[in-house]
């Protein structure tokens, strides 16, 4: 009896570290509310994607999922907070493609490195852009615009939300791919850019469809292409880029969920399963489409490959053009 009791004590003692190890590998996740940090103010695309996910994900996890806005430093403030958080799945972030791929290409990785400091969980949304011209430009397709611009080197302007922004990179990539010479005009935000496009002070601009559709429909702007692989449902008469003869052009705005590096694989796998279920819900897909974007799901490995591929593409653009941040 004594031997049996001692063996029982030894077995119990050995079970303690084994249980602790299992908990350390995420088997007790989640055990408190989950925070999704948005490194941008409320109201933008990053915030929308986080809130699209938060409530239905809370139902799947069985704990509150709270969106926490931490803007500042062109995304650095919020992303550094997540990178330094305990890697246990309770602090996550939704990353904007411009910040996660374009920013490192332009500014380097002194503050944070998206590929080193985070592990992708899943892509959430994808927003193809629409290429627009002022109606004074007599073109209706991208090939026509390229031909028109080639005949007038340095005479046409394109706008962006600032030096080093995703659309600045996209404009320079368009120049490299097509051989046109159009002049970059940086603005401090989307509102100013749209105003000058409507006034004809710039002739070309790319933006997400929702704020532009009314101007397209009333004829104040003309859409010549959309950047997705297929036509945008809100603009069914506008050709996609593949139809326009331009492929592998990474200017779609997309958002993905990330965890801090070293988060246990079991937690990432649990989150991936739940995110996939959420993004397949009809209500979630409908809400996304009403906002002009698409609810999607790709796993973390696919997101990691896209991060690497697009960052390398933007680094090449920066090297060839000498783009600098503001």
Say yes or no: 122 and 257 in one domain.
Answer: yes
- Does residue 244 register a pLDDT over 70? yes
- Tell me the whole-structure pTM to 2 decimals: 0.85
Q: So what's the pLDDT on residue 15?
A: 41
Q: Which residue has the higher pLDDT, 230 or 284?
A: 284
Q: To the nearest whole number, what is the mean pLDDT of the chain?
A: 90
Instruction: Give CA–CA dist 254/240, Å, rounded.
Output: 17
**Could you tell me which of 124, 173, 153, 193 has the C-alpha nearest to residue 314?**
173
Summarised one tens digit per residue, pLDDT across range 254-312 is 999 999 999 999 999 999 999 999 999 999 999 998 888 899 999 999 999 999 999 99
Cα gap 196→183, rounded to integer Å:
14
What would the pLDDT profile of 62-106 be if each residue is shown by its tens digit? 999 999 999 998 889 999 999 999 999 999 999 999 999 999 999
Residue of 230, 233, 253 lying closest to 242 (CA atoms): 230
3-state SS string for 83-121: HCCCCCCCEEEEEEHHHHHHHHHHHCCCCCCHHHHEEEE
CA-based angle 138:140:143, to the nearest 5? 100
Cα 256 from Cα 179, distance rounded (Å) = 33
- Residues 107 and 43 occupy one common structural domain: yes
**What's 240's DSSP letter?**
B
- Count Cα atoms within 13 angstroms, Cβ side, for 58: 15
Between 53 and 12, whose confidence is greater?
53
Which residue range is the domain that position 317 belongs to? 32-127+252-321
In sign, the C-alpha dihedral spanning 184, 190, 191, 197 is positive
d(CA 131, CA 133): 7
The percent helix, strand, coil of the chain (3-state, each to 5) is: 50, 20, 35
Does residue 71 form part of some domain?
A: yes
Q: At residue 321, does pLDDT exceed 70?
A: yes
17-40 pLDDT, tens digit each? 433 443 456 678 999 999 999 999
For residues 3-9, average pLDDT: 40
* 17 assigned to some structural domain: no
% of residues, the chain, pLDDT over 70: 92
For residue 252, the SS3 value is coil
Of 18-27, 138-147, 161-170, 303-312, the one with minimum mean pLDDT is 18-27
Residues 86, 163 within the same domain: no
We report the CATH number of the domain holding residue 261 as 3.40.190.150
Give dist(CA 305, CA 128) in Å, integer.
19
Residues 240 and 134 in one domain: yes
**Looking at the domain assignment, is residue 223 inside a domain?**
yes
pLDDT of residue 69: 95
Residues 239 and 136 in one domain: yes
In a domain, 16, yes or no: no
Count structural domains, the chain. 2
Placement of tokens 């049996």 in the chain: 4
**Residue located via tokens 């958080």:** 85
Boundary (domain end) residue, out of 201, 219, 244: 244
Do 140 and 236 share a structural domain? yes
């Amino acid at each position: 009896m004594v031997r049996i009791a001692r063996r029982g004590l030894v077995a119990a003692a050995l079970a303690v570290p084994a249980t602790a190890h299992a908990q350390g590998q995420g088997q007790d996740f989640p055990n408190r509310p989950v925070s999704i940090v948005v490194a941008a103010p409320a109201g933008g695309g990053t915030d929308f994607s986080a809130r699209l996910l938060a409530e239905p994900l809370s139902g799947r996890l069985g704990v509150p999922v709270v969106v926490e806005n931490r803007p500042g430093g062109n995304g650095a403030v919020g992303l550094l907070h997540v990178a330094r958080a305990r890697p246990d799945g309770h602090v996550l972030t939704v990353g904007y493609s411009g910040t996660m791929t374009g920013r490192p290409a332009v500014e380097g990785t002194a503050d944070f490195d998206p590929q080193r400091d985070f592990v992708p969980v899943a892509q959430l949304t994808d927003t193809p852009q629409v290429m627009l011209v002022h109606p004074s430009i007599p073109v209706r397709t991208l090939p026509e615009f390229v031909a028109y611009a080639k005949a007038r080197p340095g005479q046409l302007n394109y706008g962006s939300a600032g030096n080093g922004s995703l659309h600045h990179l996209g404009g320079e990539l368009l120049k490299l791919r097509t051989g046109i010479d159009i002049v970059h005009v940086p603005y401090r935000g989307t509102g100013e850019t749209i105003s000058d496009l409507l006034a004809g002070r710039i002739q070309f601009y790319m933006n997400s469809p929702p704020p532009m559709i009314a101007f397209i429909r009333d004829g104040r702007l003309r859409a010549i292409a959309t950047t997705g692989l297929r036509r945008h449902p809100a603009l069914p008469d506008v050709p996609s880029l593949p139809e326009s003869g331009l492929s592998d052009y990474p200017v779609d705005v997309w958002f993905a969920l990330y965890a801090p590096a070293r988060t246990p694989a079991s937690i990432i796998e649990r989150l991936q399963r739940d995110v996939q279920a959420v993004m397949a819900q009809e209500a979630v897909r409908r809400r996304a489409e009403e906002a002009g974007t698409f609810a999607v799901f790709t796993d973390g490995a696919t997101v990691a490959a896209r991060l690497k591929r697009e960052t390398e593409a933007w680094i090449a653009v920066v090297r060839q053009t000498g783009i600098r941040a503001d």
